[in-house]
Structure 1
Amino acid sequence: MAKLLIFHQGALGDFAAVFPAILRLRENFPQIAVLCQSSLGKLACSLNVATQCFPSESAIFASLYSDRPDIRVQHLLRAYDEIILFSYSESLKRTVSQVNKNVCLIFPRPDVSQQIHITAHIFSNLIRCGLLKADEPAPASDRDRRDKNFDSKKIWLHPGSGSKRKNWDISNFKRVGEILASNRKRIEFILGPAEYFMTDMLKKDDPDRIVHRISDLPELLSLLRTAGGFIGNDSGVSHLAAFLGLPTVAVFGPSDPQRWKPSGRSAAAVRPDNLDCRPCFETNSENCDNAECLNRIMPENVVRAFYRVLK
């Protein structure tokens, strides 16, 4: 039975973007292990994306960045028919290749000059490495992975992201919630540990507003699966929600939806048209002063986009 090992150092958004490719690879490699952050590996296994996971935080894997890997790591690497390294490190590839010659190095993200979606980038490189055939169709992210008895009226709103630069103003999320609530939707907010400070902003004008302070990925996964839809910024949580099959709308400002739009059975990105500038998140260290890419997005437009993906 063919076995594949995937090494990935990215955070939730980058890692979730690889899920469709891993599922396609499962057709050729029934056993796929992931070497990544412990929490992400457990997530992949719980979703039946991967069959086994190894925590990259483990001290023995630090030896991958030395001239000679730990003997236990060598035994692990030899156990796989193919190895994929999502990394920019040629030295890492050389080290792994000393133990197992069947190594494919893929840059985790397409070059910033390329207008190519992350999923297309990954698949084109898997074809380059001979792990997929060029005539194989792109994956259809059409599976609904929510709980069987999910609440169709419950809508998650997530006003955070991995960077404050990408965050649509929280007042806009409140307004989206008000509009949806007027249409008999049940609105609940979710916040990660780095976003707990937003709790007071959400509760100040409405103490009854429901806010979930998420502490880990299992809790996030469990909650996401219970709802009828999701609206958030360009974030890892948005990518996960879309993969799970929730009707998902992601608000894009300085980042590029052509490269990072979430993939799923019913997902959309909202960004203003006819801007005088190009997405700058990956090329500039700061947003421009007026940040029209975010400020010109109206809550009503986001709600309209949500009802389109909800159908």
Structure 2
Amino acid sequence: MELLIIRPGALGDTLLMLPVLAELKGKATIHFVGRQPGLAHMRDAVYHTMDLERAGWHRLFSDQSCFSGPPSLPVPRADRVIAFFKDENGTIGQNLKRFFPKALVRVFPSFPPRGEKIHVVRYLAGCLESAGLPINSDGVMDNAGRHPLICGPWGSKHRNRIVFHPGSGNTEKNHPPDFWLDIIHECMEIKRVSRLKPTLLLGPAEASLRNFFSRHKDLSTRMEIFFCPEKESLLRVLGSAALYLGHDSGITHLSGLMGTPTVALFKHTDPVQWGPVGSRVRIIHGRKTDRELIKRITAAVNTL
């Protein structure tokens, strides 16, 4: 069966598709269309990946009367087409049926309804199951938690880092930098953690934090800072981590899927829907930045 799945999204959104694709591996020839940077992590789970931003995919959103000749997309054929979009006027669904007239075509919303207490992974699996694909939506989460879904040569037998990622792409998700200073100091006081190399991971959204943390000499002399690492460097850092702490972010999802012991701090979003997937993930949900939250975080660190 030639299966085309289209689900563009940010890094974390795309990574939450990985447990579903892993369940389908070997049951269909999967062509997956998404966006970078998450797309790069899908390749081992599918036959072929394609970037929605590349030439040809704009036709999916266009009035077909604008084009001459037979309708076409950069995929030669498909038996089933599953797309995840907000398609209120039905344009995307109609176009897909024109492009693949012999295929079963289903278009689903990208995310579960707001407030519905279902994890995004289970929702995605349920959509595919309702479209007749051979997947058990009830078992996907359990299976994803049994072993790492992102593996490679980056892992180290000697995990000697504790990685802190004090940002995300949405400031509403983030605790303030001063709070992160307290977290770092408290964690480094834990005996088994004190032997680890403190490592700060900063992305484009955290550019301003680089100077903030560098000003604290008690940390900057010990701490290694990675700013906007490219994919392989990022994977090596996470693969050498004995522990990772971060907000609800794409990198936190990546850490969990790699099997790195992960403490995920949720402030604004609902972990029931968006919690990272992995066998060694602890989620701390709390909006109030106070000593009690730090105690919960250090307790989670001690259990991993």
Task: Tell me, in whole angstroms, the C-alpha distance in 1 between the residues paired with 2:239 and 2:79.
Answer: 34
Distance change >3 Å, CA 72–CA 98, structure 1 → 2: closer
Task: Tell me, in whole angstroms, the C-alpha distance in 1 between the residues paired with 2:11 and 2:73.
Answer: 28
**Residue 239 (1) aligns with residue 253 (2):** yes
Cα deviation for residue 108 of structure 1 reads: 1.5
CA contact (8 A) 2:11 2:37 kept: no
Percent identity between the two aligned chains: 22
Cα deviation for residue 172 of structure 1 reads: 2.5
Across the two proteins, how many residue pairs are aligned to each other? 285
Task: Tell me, in whole angstroms, the C-alpha distance in 2 between the residues paired with 1:222 and 1:70.
Answer: 48
Q: Which residue of 1 aligns with 2:123?
A: 121
Q: 1:89-117: CA deviations, max 9, x gaps?
A: 13111101112232222222111131111
Q: 1:260-287: CA deviations, max 9, x gaps?
A: 1101111121014xxxxxxxxxxxxxxx
Ranges in structure 2 where 5+ consecutive residues have no aligned partner:
none
Match of 2:79 among 81, 106, 129: 81
Match of 1:156 among 152, 155, 163: 163
Supply the AA of the counterpart residue of 1:235: S
CA contact (8 A) 2:166 2:177 kept: yes
Q: 1:178-202: CA deviations, max 9, x gaps?
A: 2332322221010011211100111
Q: Which residue of 2 aligns with 1:304?
A: 299
| SS of match in other structure, 1:4 | strand
Cα deviation for residue 300 of structure 1 reads: 2.6
Distance change >3 Å, CA 75–CA 114, structure 1 → 2: closer
CA contact (8 A) 2:57 2:74 kept: no
Ranges in structure 1 where 5+ consecutive residues have no aligned partner:
273-292
Cα deviation for residue 299 of structure 1 reads: 2.1
Distance change >3 Å, CA 135–CA 158, structure 1 → 2: closer
Cα deviation for residue 136 of structure 1 reads: 6.8
Supply the AA of the counterpart residue of 2:39: G
CA contact (8 A) 1:104 1:129 kept: yes
CA contact (8 A) 1:6 1:35 kept: yes
| SS of match in other structure, 2:226 | strand
Cα deviation for residue 204 of structure 1 reads: 0.8
| SS of match in other structure, 2:72 | helix
| SS of match in other structure, 2:91 | helix
* TM-score normalised per structure 1: 0.84
**Residue 58 (1) aligns with residue 54 (2):** yes
Q: Which residue of 1 aligns with 2:289?
A: 295
**Residue 105 (1) aligns with residue 99 (2):** no
